Structure 1
Amino acid sequence: MRLLIADDHDLVRETVAAFLTASGVEAVQSVATLDEALVAIRDEPRFDLILLDYNMPGMNGVEGVRRTVNAAKGVPVAVISGMASRELAEIAERAGAVGFVPKTLGAKAMVAAVRLMAQGERFHPLGLLSSEMPGGEGPNALTRRELDVLRGLVEGLSNKEIARDLDLQEVTVKLHVKTLSRKLGARNRTHAAMIARNAGMI
């Protein structure tokens, strides 16, 4: 796997690169500005994933995301940011980004997210975004019961087993699975569990 990290903070670039290299990533190239990222993309067309800081020099917000996505020609582009907000994640997605990675994400979760996106999957850790925190007021916030059910999914339990453990009807668990999957943007229960694990929600 070959990655490009574009971030104007030396410590962030070096730390993320160290995490990824230690996890077995073949090559990690880092640059500090959007212009440098665009040059790297032009000169090295074999990247598997591009991590793009939303606030570095030259970005001009969402315009920089669009320019990078266009230049990448099919290589997945993900946005990284020190500000974890649902609004920013949605803006990045509309601009063509395959994921949004808060810089507060733990090392293991970040590595898992990078591998997920490099394989063509999307990564939007709604549970970590400020207006999406469990028990919060965001429209997609997971309820405490949905988190209980999600924990069961992560543990590999069936709906029947989750219902037994939580003293619920199986049909109620099915409804919770459907609802939380929608909130997480998951295709099915397995995908929901994967999102939860990668985002460190459980």
Structure 2
Amino acid sequence: MASTTEPSEAVPSTTAGGDEGVDADTSTVGPTSEVSTTTVAPRLGTLTLSGVGLTVDATTDDEVLVGFGDDAMTVLEHVSTALGEPIGDSGWGLDGACTAAEVRRLGWGGLEIVLARESADDPGRLVQWFLDGPDSTRTSWWTLERIGIGSTVADLRAAHGAALSLEQPSDRDPAGWFDTEPVLGDGVLGAVGNTNESGRVLIMWAGDGCRRRFS
């Protein structure tokens, strides 16, 4: 996950000399080397997540944007090219957690892509992605800001600043919900195990095709 460690300040040189009664030839301390911290962003995988959809091969010349509302078969083609064939496929059918007449859920490990349509004649469209499972440091499934499973509340604040909404529904439970763009409505949403700075992201999603929050 992306580090939020601030660079250490340089240690100043401490050379003594010129003071009365001090032999400058024997009291000089050599300058210390500066201490710096370099933060390296985690490598993006072949598929990058966002509040408006997905990006295949993000930040490369071959980048392809796959947005919510895009044609279902086109989405499936792009995602399968990036990740291989899905290891889970619900097929088209009624889903009580979703708003469309028919929904198809496709899974690649902890990543789920949701397609929706209103009838058998409807080609369908991308309406949501959902992520859980192993930390993103293992899967390389991140947002461009390097937010993923296992990121902390501190990482969320560093990436999204004042725009971030963080809610703790119950005083008896430290867990909470976040939204990276509550005003614009096109952010990434999810749950953290604790709302303090070290609380970790447990699940995250974007798109409003299916209900993910039940509390």
**Could you say which structure has the higher strand fraction?**
2
Q: 1 or 2 for the larger relative contact order (CA 8 Å, sep ≥6)?
A: 2
Range of TM-score over shorter length: under 0.3
| Length-normalised TM-score, structure 1 | 0.27
Q: Please say which structure displays the higher CA radius of gyration.
A: 2
**Could you say which structure has the higher helix fraction?**
1
